[in-house]
Amino acid sequence: MAGSQTLQLANPAAGTVSRAPQTTAAPQGAASDVPFSRLSREGQILGPSQAGTAFGSLWTPTLKAVGGYLKALTLTLTATGGTGGVGVAAADAPYNTIQNLFLRDPYGQPIVQASGYGLYLINLYSGQVGMLGFGNNPATLPSFSAVAATGNFTLQLYVPLQLDSSGYCSLPSQNAASQPQLQIQLNPSTSVYSTAPTTVPTLTLAADEPYWMAPVDNPQVGPPDVGSSAQWSEARAAAGIASAAYQRVVLPRVGTFIHTLILTLRDSTGARIDAWPASDLSLWVDGVPIVMETFAERINLMYAQFGVTRPTGVLVYSWRDAVQSAVSSADTYDKLLPTTPATTLEIAGTFGTIGSAPASITALTGELFPSGGIPYTHLAS
């Protein structure tokens, strides 16, 4: 009865606290009323790994079923066996060890498609990895080891799937016969080292699998809006950029909700450059400028949102700041940029002097495909 008190039940009037033992019973109320992250538990299994891999190889490992919902992949690359003291890293090394990574669902639908340097930028700027200034920069992780004169290095990159800590957009992975497909094409060593070490190292690759466990008491309960996906794609804008010219450059990926846009400007040699418009930088949607600012304002905002030092040539627009100005997984998705296949998305302004013209823009687009149609509906309960 509500009025009865025992040594195990709290009596607020008397200032006592509960001494009832822990149970495994499901929380009261309908399963849909209880957050999935409260019913589930987080875990990780050691995924596929391969040692002695040569630069330039193709790695197509078989991912393991996790008995729940895959949150991400933790990808570790270790270069060992290099000798000599003459090795010099290329500009984007060691991240550009990966030429291209594809992660597809069991039916071949791409979920993440990015280069190794693109994955590095996703770690920095997606809001899906670490938190503001902590854990979102692979170069500051304790395990990171930069390219040495022997050519050896250690690198960990996170391949994110879930969009926030509720498990939203995590990928079902309970059937060993129907698993996501991972494919990694490695660059040749000549792309990773501007000067090769005496003996080029070999690579050990590992893809571990952090996941949400299927709830024991309510196995039918899954993450919010199961079937939703947070996808990443990398593509180059078609238009080349002339030196010191005003241009509106059409960006290559539209069609759903965009949560993050990461742009990299490179000259004709492939070097990243900061020739972005200095005083009239603007982002246009369907012929309307929605953001007009200076280059200095944009990079200051990037630092306020993410707390990391900006790599040369990189600009970021994030719409994951509905809750706080610092971008993180604490977001309600109210401010995401909606687009359709007919949307025209452009970056514009008077670009700076480009010594090796034409320059090009590579766009990493973070997209949300909500199964329920509207991204913030999963937060309603």
Q: Is residue 361 part of a domain?
A: yes
List, edge to edge, every strand of the sheet that includes 288-293: 246-250, 345-350, 281-285, 288-293
Q: What is the DSSP letter of 63?
A: P
* Alpha helix (H) residue ranges in 249-359: 295-306
pLDDT of residue 29: 46
Task: Work out the number of other CB atoms within 10 angstroms of the CB of residue 223.
Answer: 25
Q: Is residue 21 part of a domain?
A: no
Number of alpha helices (DSSP H) and beta strands (DSSP E) in the chain: 4, 22
59 & 146 share domain: yes
One-letter identity of residue 30? A
Tokens read off for 259: 């949560």
Q: Is residue 111 part of a domain?
A: yes
Nearest to 177 by CA among 269, 99, 256, 65: 65
Residues 6+ apart with CB under 8 A from 170: 69, 70, 71, 161, 162, 211, 212, 223
Strand partners of residue 283: 291, 347
Stretch 284-305: mean pLDDT:
97
Task: Work out the number of other CB atoms within 10 angstroms of the CB of residue 98.
Answer: 25
Q: Are 122 and 116 in contact (CB under 8 A)?
A: no
pLDDT of residue 6: 60
Domain closes at, from 150, 179, 213: 213
- The count of structural domains within the chain is 2
Task: Work out the number of other CB atoms within 10 angstroms of the CB of residue 310.
Answer: 17
Domain closes at, from 174, 189, 213: 213
Q: Is residue 197 part of a domain?
A: yes
- Pairwise CA distance, residues 163 & 347, whole Å: 26
Tokens read off for 317: 């627009």
Strand partners of residue 131: 134, 135
Query: What is the domain extent for residue 321?
Result: 229-379
pLDDT of residue 371: 87
Can you give the CATH number for the domain in which 187 is found?
Answer: 2.70.9.30
**pTM confidence score:** 0.91
pLDDT of residue 1: 46
164 & 50 share domain: yes
Residues 6+ apart with CB under 8 A from 313: 264, 265, 266, 272, 273, 274
Residue with tokens 């957050």: 35
Point out the least confidently predicted range of 155-169, 196-210, 216-230.
216-230
- Pairwise CA distance, residues 102 & 183, whole Å: 5
195 & 302 share domain: no
Strand partners of residue 242: none
190 & 93 share domain: yes
- Indicate whether 229 pLDDT > 80: yes
Confidence of residue 337 (pLDDT cuts 50, 70, 90): very high
Can you give the CATH number for the domain in which 248 is found?
Answer: 2.60.120.730
261 & 355 share domain: yes
Q: Are 262 and 125 in contact (CB under 8 A)?
A: yes
pLDDT in tens, 172-195: 988 877 889 999 999 999 999 999
